[in-house]
Structure 1
Amino acid sequence: MVVFVLLATSGWTAMSHQKPAQDPRAAAVSAWLHGSVAGRHLPNPDSASARTVSRFFASLTAAQRERLADRYPLVVGNLNGAPVPLRYAANRLALGQQQTAEIKRSHAEDLTPDGRSEALQLAHRYGSLRAPGRQILAFDPTGQGRVAEVFGDLATARRTAVVVPGVDTDILTFEKTVKPYSAPDGMAEALYDSERAADPAGHYAVIAWADYTTPDGLGLDASTGTMAEAGAVRLNAMVRALPDTTSVQLFCHSYGSVLCGVGAGRLPQRKVTDIAVYGSPGMRAQNVAGLHTDARVWAARDATDWIQDVPYVEVGGLGHGPDPVSPSFGARVISAAGAQQHTGYFASGTESLKNFTRIALGRYGQVVCATDDATCTAGAAAAA
Structure 2
Amino acid sequence: MTPTLLAAPKAVRITPPAGTAAWLADSRRLPDPLRTDPVAVHRFLAAVSEAEQRGLVSEYPGVVGALDGAPPAMRYAANDQAMTAAGSPFSERNGQFLLFDPRGDGLVAQVFGDLSAADRIAVLVPGAANRADNFWTGVGGERHRAPAVQAADLREAAARYGTTDKDRFAVVAWLGYDTPDGVDVSAAREDLARTGAVALNRFVAGLSAVRPQATIALLGHSYGSTVIGLAAPAFPPRVTDIAVFGSPGMGVNTVAQLGTTARVWAGQSSGDWVRRVPGVRLFGLGHGTKPTDPAFDARVFGTSDVADHDHYLSPGTDSLANLASIAVKGLVAYAQGQCRERKVQRLRLMTVHKGH
Band of TM-score, shorter chain: 0.7 to 0.9
- What SS class does the counterpart of residue 302 from structure 1 fall into? coil
Superposition RMSD in Å: 2.1
- Greater C-alpha radius of gyration: 1
Counterpart for residue 122 of structure 2: 161
Distance in 2 (CA, whole Å) between partners of 1:69 and 1:226 is 32
Give the conservation status (yes or no) of the 8 Å contact 1:181–1:190.
no
Q: How does 1:26-65 map to 2 (within 5 A)?
A: 27-36=18-27, 40-65=28-53
Give the conservation status (yes or no) of the 8 Å contact 1:212–1:234.
yes
1:210 matches 2:169: no
Matching residue within 80, 84, 91 for 1:127? 91
Give the conservation status (yes or no) of the 8 Å contact 1:163–1:185.
no
Matching residue within 216, 234, 248 for 1:248? 216
Structure 2: give runs of 5+ residues left out of the alignment: 8-14, 335-342
Q: How does 1:334-373 map to 2 (within 5 A)?
A: 334-362=301-329, 364=331, 365=334, 366=343, 367-368=346-347
Query: Per-residue CA shift, 1:113-166, capped at 9, x if unaligned?
Result: xxxxxxxxxx21x0233x2xx101111112110000001111221111111112
Structure 1: give runs of 5+ residues left out of the alignment: 1-11, 16-22, 100-122
Matching residue within 202, 210, 226 for 1:237? 202
Distance in 2 (CA, whole Å) between partners of 1:186 and 1:279 is 18
Distance in 1 (CA, whole Å) between partners of 2:92 and 2:135 is 11
Give the drift of 1:301. 0.7
Q: 1:221 to 1:67 in 2, by over 3 A?
A: same
Q: How does 1:129-208 map to 2 (within 5 A)?
A: 129=93, 131=94, 134-176=95-137, 179-198=142-161, 199-202=163-166, 203-208=168-173
Counterpart for residue 240 of structure 2: 273
Matched AA of 1:375: V
1:224 matches 2:189: yes
Give the drift of 1:234. 0.8
Query: Per-residue CA shift, 1:325-364, capped at 9, x if unaligned?
Result: 1111111111112222111011111000000011122152
Q: How does 1:249-328 map to 2 (within 5 A)?
A: 249-268=217-236, 270-328=237-295
Give the conservation status (yes or no) of the 8 Å contact 1:355–1:368.
no
- What SS class does the counterpart of residue 304 from structure 1 fall into? coil
Matched AA of 2:251: R
Query: Per-residue CA shift, 1:67-105, capped at 9, x if unaligned?
Result: 110111011111011111111011000111111xxxxxx
Give the conservation status (yes or no) of the 8 Å contact 1:333–1:370.
no
Q: 1:219 to 1:369 in 2, by over 3 A?
A: farther
Give the conservation status (yes or no) of the 8 Å contact 2:39–2:205.
no
Query: Per-residue CA shift, 1:259-291, capped at 9, x if unaligned?
Result: 1111111111x1111111110111111111111
- What SS class does the counterpart of residue 51 from structure 1 fall into? helix
Give the drift of 1:35. 2.1
Give the conservation status (yes or no) of the 8 Å contact 1:299–1:325.
yes
Distance in 2 (CA, whole Å) between partners of 1:363 and 1:48 is 32
Distance in 2 (CA, whole Å) between partners of 1:344 and 1:165 is 13
The percentage of aligned residue pairs carrying the same residue is 40
TM-score by length of 2: 0.86
Matched residues, number? 326
Distance in 1 (CA, whole Å) between partners of 2:56 and 2:262 is 38
Give the conservation status (yes or no) of the 8 Å contact 2:249–2:291.
yes
- What SS class does the counterpart of residue 265 from structure 1 fall into? helix
